[in-house]
Structure 1
Amino acid sequence: MTKKTLANDELLGFSEQTAKIAALSAKPEVPHYFGHRDRVREKFKKAGDEIMADYELLELLLFRSIPRADTKPIAKALLARFGSLSEVLGAPEHLLCEVPGCGKSVAFDLKLVAAVSKRQNRNEVVGRIALDAWSKVVQYCMTAMAYEEREQFRILFLDKKNKLISDEVQQIGTVDHTPVYPREVIRRALELSSTAIIVVHNHPSGDPTPSRADIDMTKLLIEAGKPLGVTIHDHIIVGKSGHISMRGLKLI
C-alpha cells in the first residue's frame, strides 16, 4: 500500500468518526405535532369548546388513542367521511375502521365516548316529568337513535305524574321497517303500571318525515290504549337531519 493510499484511508476514517460523533451529539428531532398538541390543549383549557372547531375537539379525543402521531389529518378524514362530529360518534365501528389511521382501538374509544354521552342524556331524563323536560327527552332520543343503521321502535313509559319510569327498545327492524304490535305495547305498559307512553322510532334514511304507515300505526296504538287508560302522548321520529313530533304536526 502506498503512502498516498494510506493517507486517504486515514482521512476517510477520520471523516466517518467525525460524522458518528456529530450524529450522537445531535438532539433528536421533535415531531411537529408535539407542540401542536400543547397548543390545542391550552386553547381548550382557556376557552372551552365554544370557539373550537369540530376537528379540534376530535383531535383532543384522538390524542389519548393515538399518542405518537399527528391526529389532525385523521380527525379531518373522519369528519369528511361521516359529515359531523355527531355522525362520527354515531358511526358503527366497522365503518370507522375503514378510515385510514383509525384502527380498532380508536373506533372503540369513539364508541365509548358516544356511550357516555348517551348515558348522560338518559340520566337527565329518568325520574323527571317528561313533558316539562321535553328538550332533554328529544335530545336523548336523538343521541340514542338518530345514527342507528336499522329502524328501532322505542317506548318511553311514564307514570301518573308523567315521570319516566322505563325506557325500552321494543323492536329492531330493517333499514326502512320495524314491525309493531299495539297489543304488546299496551300490555307492557300495564305491566309497568304506566298510564302514558311516548313512542319513538328512527329513520335511518335521515329524513324524519312520517310515512302513512307511521301515522296509521300511531292511530292503532291510540285506539288500543284508550279503553285501558293508557294515553299516547306523542310519537317522535328522529333522523340525522332532525326530528318531528306527530302531536306537533297535529297528526294525533
Structure 2
Amino acid sequence: MPDTSRPAAKPTPHHAGHRERLRERFLAAPDVLPDYELLELILFRTIPRRDVKPLAKELIAHFGGLAEVLNAAPERLCEVKGVSASTIADFRIVREAGLRLSQAKVMRKEVISSWSALLDYCSAAMAHGAIEQFRILFLDRQNVLIADEVQQTGTIDHTPVYPREVMKRALALNASSIILVHNHPSGDPTPSAADIEMTKRIVETARPLGIQVHDHLVIGKGRHTSFKSLGLI
C-alpha cells in the first residue's frame, strides 16, 4: 500500500529562482534587459512573493513603454490590478533618481555646447507630462545653467505665460540669457500660433533689459522642435 503518512510535496513554482537569476543577469549586463524585465526588478521590492512578470508585461502593454509606466499618474496606475501605493512610490523614486542624474549633466555647466544633454534632460522631465508645463532655464554670461524652474503649469493644451513675470525672475537671478521650454502632451511638438506669439512677446520684453532668449524648445514624445532652428527667434 502507498505510504500516506506524509503530505505530497508541493510542485516547485515555475518562477522559483527567477528573481535571483534576473538580478544576476542585470548585474552582468544591465543594458541588455528588455523593459519588462527591468520593471520586474522594480516590482520585486513591493511584491515579494509572487511572479511579477505578468504584471510587468501588463503595465508595459497598458501604458505603452517603461518610460510611460514610470511617468504615469498614480490614479492611472491604480487602474491596473496588483499595483499598490508602495509600488507607485517606488516608480516615483526611480523616476526622480533618473531625472536628477540627467539634470546633473547640465546644471552648473555651459549648456550651449552640451545641447544633446540638455535635450535629454528636458525630454526626461517633460515629454510624458499629462498637462502642459512651461519651464525656464536661466543662464549666466558664460551660458552656464544657473537655475531651472517651472514657471507655469496649465491644461492639456494651454499654459498661461506672463512675460513680465519671466523677466522679473531673470533679473532676480541676474541671468544674462534664458531658454524657454514647454511640452505638448499630445506628443506633437509643432509650435502653435499661440506659442509663436507668446515667444515673440517674451523676446520683445527681454530685449530692452539686455536679456537674450537663446531658444524656445517644444518637447513632444520622442521629438522636439527648436524655435531657433525654425528661424522663429
Task: Provide TM-score, normalisation by structure 2.
Answer: 0.95
Aligned to 2:43: 62
Post-superposition Cα deviations, 1:10-33, rounded to whole Å, max 9, x if no partner, equal xxxx98xx53x211xx54543322
Q: Which amino acid aligns with 1:115?
A: E
Instruction: Give structure 1 stretches of 5+ with no counterpart.
Output: 1-13
Task: State which structure, 1 or 2, has the greater radius of gyration over its C-alpha atoms.
Answer: 1
Task: Provide TM-score, normalisation by structure 1.
Answer: 0.88
Q: Once the 2 structures are TM-superposed, how far is the Cα of residue 106 of structure 1 from its aligned partner?
A: 0.9
Identity percentage of aligned residues: 53
Moved more, 128-137 or 31-40: 31-40
* Count of paired positions: 233
Aligned to 2:117: 136
Q: Provide the C-alpha distance between the structure 2 equivalents of 1:66 and 1:242, rounded to a whole number of angstroms.
A: 35
Q: Provide the C-alpha distance between the structure 1 equivalents of 2:78 and 2:179, rounded to a whole number of angstroms.
A: 35
Aligned to 1:22: 6
1:109 maps onto 2:93 in alignment: no
Task: Classify the secondary structure of the residue corresponding to 2:6.
Answer: helix
Task: Classify the secondary structure of the residue corresponding to 2:122.
Answer: helix
Q: 2:16 aligns with which of 13, 34, 43?
A: 34
Q: Provide the C-alpha distance between the structure 1 equivalents of 2:28 and 2:149, rounded to a whole number of angstroms.
A: 40
Bigger fraction of residues in helix: 1
Aligned to 1:163: 144
Q: Would you say the 8 A contact 1:202–1:239 is kept in 2?
A: yes
Q: Would you say the 8 A contact 1:93–1:111 is kept in 2?
A: no
Q: Which amino acid aligns with 1:36?
A: H
Give runs of aligned pairs for residues 202-213 of structure 1, distance below 5 A.
202-213=183-194
Task: Classify the secondary structure of the residue corresponding to 2:112.
Answer: coil
Aligned to 2:25: 43
Aligned to 1:7: none
Q: Provide the C-alpha distance between the structure 1 equivalents of 2:220 and 2:147, rounded to a whole number of angstroms.
A: 22
Q: 1:223 aligns with which of 204, 207, 222?
A: 204
Q: Which amino acid aligns with 1:83?
A: G
Q: Which amino acid aligns with 1:60?
A: L
Q: Once the 2 structures are TM-superposed, how far is the Cα of residue 93 of structure 1 from its aligned partner?
A: 1.1
Q: Provide the C-alpha distance between the structure 2 equivalents of 1:232 and 1:151, rounded to a whole number of angstroms.
A: 20
